[in-house]
Amino acid sequence: MIIKDIMTEKIAYVSVPGNRDKALELMISENVSGLPVVKEGTKTLIGIVTRSDLIQNPDEEQLALIMSRDLVTTTLNEDIKDVAKKMLKANVRRVPVLENDELIGIVTASDFVSEAIADMEIKEPVESYMIRTIPTTWEKTPLNVAFEIMKFFNLKCVVSLNDQGQLSGIITETDFIKESEVISETSVHSSTVGTEGDKWSWDSTSVLYVEKNHLKFFDKQVLDVATQNISTANSKTSVTDCAKRMRDNKIEQIPVTGVEGELIGIIRANDLIKALINEK
């Protein structure tokens, strides 16, 4: 199977010069987590901007200073396993497709799952690929605290637990962005300097005003935002069956539960791609 068999041809993209607001608005309206960046008036690819880039750079407005320029790209006829290997090595979830150095499409982790793995017969259980260190939080945790937990684990979601410690929902990076806004705050820093040893000297005070942008979350708890009707898998669910659930529910991660319904892991689209690479 080659890239043209699974790629998305109708793609949303932004151009530079451009700003973060336009990129974020397009991500939300198109329900995507990343956008190729092209030179204005052309299809020449110069970068990629993701939700994570926007979150990590709240002080920066210009896309040219936010986007990543270290790109992994592919072509129509490249084998999907070769591209999957490049994706995992670079730790990326999307790869632009180029023809004659121009952007013609994109292939994402979700494309690999829904257009390839879901139609294969990979019977290996997901326990071989799931991650077991899971970011969890109480469902009544404030959003800003849950966001910091997600950042600490360097993942794209947080799983919520109810008062009984049972799985109750999942909240993703997209949910956090929708429930926040970038605000600007000014802090004042002052220092006083006098002439040492001279009790009659005048003290001079220098004042520095620092303006900094940051994400401010709405006054909500995790349970107000988290998806509560969630699809789950168990440790023996096959890779292909899990891929079908991701495709049918249009999601990129699924909590994995044990025999008594307890949370034991989480499986992501990129984890399933490892199974694709290992498939003979």
What integer is the mean pLDDT of 240-263?
A: 92
Name, in order, each residue with C-beta under 8 angstroms of 144's C-beta and a sequence gap of 6 or more: 217
Q: Token digits for 58?
A: 């709240």
Quote the pLDDT of residue 208.
57
DSSP labels for 158-176?
A: EEEE-TTS-EEEEEEHHHH
Residue 193 pLDDT exceeds 90: no
Please give the average per-residue pLDDT across 29-34, as a whole number: 85
Mean pLDDT within 9-36: 88
Intervals of CATH 3.10.580.10 along the chain? 3-115, 126-179+219-278
Give the rounded percent of residues in the chain with a pLDDT score beyond 90: 58
Report the Cα 216 to chain-centroid distance in Å: 18
Residue 187: per-residue pLDDT: 53
**Residue environment code for 24-49, b if the CB has 16+ CB neighbours within 10 A, otherwise e:** bebbeeeebbbbbbbeeeebebbbbb
Superfamily of domain 3-115: CBS-domain (3.10.580.10)
Alpha helices (runs of H) in 1-128, residue ranges in sequence order:
20-30, 51-56, 63-66, 80-90, 109-115
Architecture of domain 126-179+219-278: Roll (3.10)
Each residue of 115-151: pLDDT tens digit?
A: 999 999 999 999 999 999 999 999 999 999 999 999 8
Mean pLDDT of the chain: 87
217-234 tens-digit pLDDT: 889 999 999 999 889 999
Residue 105 pLDDT exceeds 80: yes
Percent of the chain with pLDDT over 70: 88
